[in-house]
Amino acid sequence: MRLSNEDHMQISDLAEMLGITTRTIRLYEKLGLVEPPKRTDGRVRYYEKTDVKRFKFVLKVKELGLSLEEMRELAILFDKEQKVPDKIMPRLTELLDTHLKSIKQKVSTLQSLEKDITAYRQRIIDQYNLTK
């Protein structure tokens, strides 16, 4: 018997909806990124709309490139601050700024590498009279 409906869903349905595996869901629960699921008397996990919202937030910050440790920090802050976005968003902004700075540095390094490789390639072509 399926428990999933518009108010509740089982782990497999949540995983399918979010495009992740049930293993990922359990990992996020174990790491404290999301609250432990509610369970039926038969110990079957089920998730509510608020759980889905929390998973979507976690997946979004993961997509933005935050580490699991940074995600955990946000989850702790989220729980500690009684789910008040005004308290969480400044820290999220700070983490994103740090991450953005790191990305810009990597882009700069890659652009420099691209120039070096292009110049080296051209020297090989010129030295061995190769056609482009």
Confidence of residue 4 (pLDDT cuts 50, 70, 90): low
Is residue 6, in this structure, part of any structural domain at all? Answer: no
- Report the CATH number at residue 74: 1.10.1660.10
Q: How many domains does the chain have?
A: 1
Q: What was the pLDDT predicted at 46?
A: 93
User: pLDDT for 10-68, tens place per residue?
Assistant: 999 999 999 999 999 999 999 989 999 999 899 999 999 989 988 998 998 899 888 88
Rg (CA), the chain: 23
d(CA 55, CA 19): 11
Comparing 109 with 40, the larger pLDDT belongs to: 109
What does the block give as tokens for 71? 């995600």
Q: What was the pLDDT predicted at 77?
A: 80
Is residue 45, in this structure, part of any structural domain at all? Answer: yes
d(CA 103, CA 24): 25
What does the block give as tokens for 37? 């699921």
Q: Which of 59, 34, 56 is nearest to 45 (CA)?
A: 34
What does the block give as tokens for 34? 């999301």
To 10 degrees, the CA torsion angle through 85, 33, 29, 20? 90
Residue 76: domain span: 11-127
82: left (phi over 0), alpha (psi -120 to 50) or beta: left
d(CA 132, CA 96): 42
State pTM to two decimals. Answer: 0.71
